[in-house]
């Protein structure tokens, strides 16, 4: 259902989603209700059409940050300076708007927290619960959620969720400024 909504040229109606999915209208309505409750879709009030919800974007943010962090750490462990790895990755095709915006945070975290680990984990847990209800496996979300738990356990969960990099760095034996501050 999410794919139908996301790939539609214009926000689809219940009737359009019923036709496109081939499912009975009550089933489509029930699925849309579950997705809306989980924040994965939103119903436009006046038009009675459906759009992808903000929670889908939040899931993608954390998972993309984790994948970006993995690439930076692999490069760093191979001897490439972190700054150079970030520069190269941001100039490549992987530089989605999120990576372009948050990727540089692996070099230095902002003083002002934009979206901390606790807030991100709340969204992850809601998505995981919805995935269980709908029988949709969410393996990357589950792994990312565990690393957010690790950030909380390390005392850095109040920082921007870009600390996913620092959690991975710690696991890989790489020191970071955030981890040094947390230890001190």
Integer Cα distance of 50 and 70 in angstroms: 34
Integer Cα distance of 85 and 55 in angstroms: 29
Beta bridge partners of 42: 51
Nearest to 167 by CA among 139, 146, 184: 146
Question: Which residues of the chain form CATH 1.10.10.10?
Answer: 2-52
Specify the pLDDT at position 46.
78
Class of 56-183 in CATH: mainly alpha
The residue-averaged pLDDT of 35-64 equals 81
Nearest to 172 by CA among 89, 64, 109, 78: 78
Q: What percent of the chain has pLDDT over 70?
A: 99
Contact assessment for residue 134 and residue 126, using Cβ atoms and an 8 Å cutoff: no
Neighbours of 23 (CB within 10 A): 15
Terminal alpha carbon distance of the chain? 48
Integer Cα distance of 124 and 117 in angstroms: 10
Specify the pLDDT at position 179.
84
Helix 117-134 to helix 54-77 angle, to the nearest 10 degrees? 110
In the block, tokens 């950030």 appear at 151
Integer Cα distance of 90 and 93 in angstroms: 8
Residues 57-104 pLDDT 10s: 677 788 889 999 999 999 999 999 999 999 999 999 888 888 888 889
**pLDDT of 12 over the 90 cut:** yes
Q: Which of 10-14, 55-59, 149-153 has the lowest mean pLDDT?
A: 55-59
Q: Which of 54-58, 127-131, 178-182 has the lowest mean pLDDT?
A: 54-58
**pLDDT of 184 over the 80 cut:** no
Burial 46-79 (b: 16+ CB within 10 A, else e): eeebbbbbebbebbebbbbbbebbebbbebbeee
Question: Which residues of the chain form CATH 1.10.1040.10?
Answer: 56-183
Residues 114-132 pLDDT 10s: 889 999 998 888 888 888 8
H helices of the chain, in order, are: 2-7, 14-21, 25-37, 54-77, 82-90, 97-102, 117-134, 139-153, 164-171, 177-183
CATH number for the region 2-52 comes to 1.10.10.10
pTM for the predicted model, two decimal places: 0.72
8-state DSSP, 107: T
């Amino acid at each position: 259902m999410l794919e139908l909504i996301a790939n539609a040229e214009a926000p689809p109606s219940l009737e359009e989603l019923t036709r496109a999915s081939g499912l009975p209208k009550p089933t489509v309505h029930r699925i849309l209700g579950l997705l809306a409750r989980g924040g994965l879709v939103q119903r436009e009030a006046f038009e009675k059409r459906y759009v992808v919800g903000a929670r889908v974007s939040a899931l993608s943010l954390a998972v993309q940050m984790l994948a970006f962090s993995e690439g930076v750490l692999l490069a760093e462990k191979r001897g490439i300076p972190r700054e150079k790895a970030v520069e190269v990755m941001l100039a490549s095709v992987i530089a989605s708007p999120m990576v372009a915006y948050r990727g540089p945070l692996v070099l230095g975290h902002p003083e002002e927290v934009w979206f901390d680990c606790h807030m991100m984990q709340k969204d992850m847990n809601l998505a995981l619960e919805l995935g269980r209800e709908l029988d949709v496996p969410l393996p990357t979300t589950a792994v990312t959620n565990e690393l957010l738990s690790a950030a909380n356990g390390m005392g850095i969960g109040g920082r921007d969720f870009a600390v996913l990099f620092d959690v991975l760095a710690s696991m890989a034996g790489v020191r970071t400024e955030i981890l040094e501050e947390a230890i001190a």
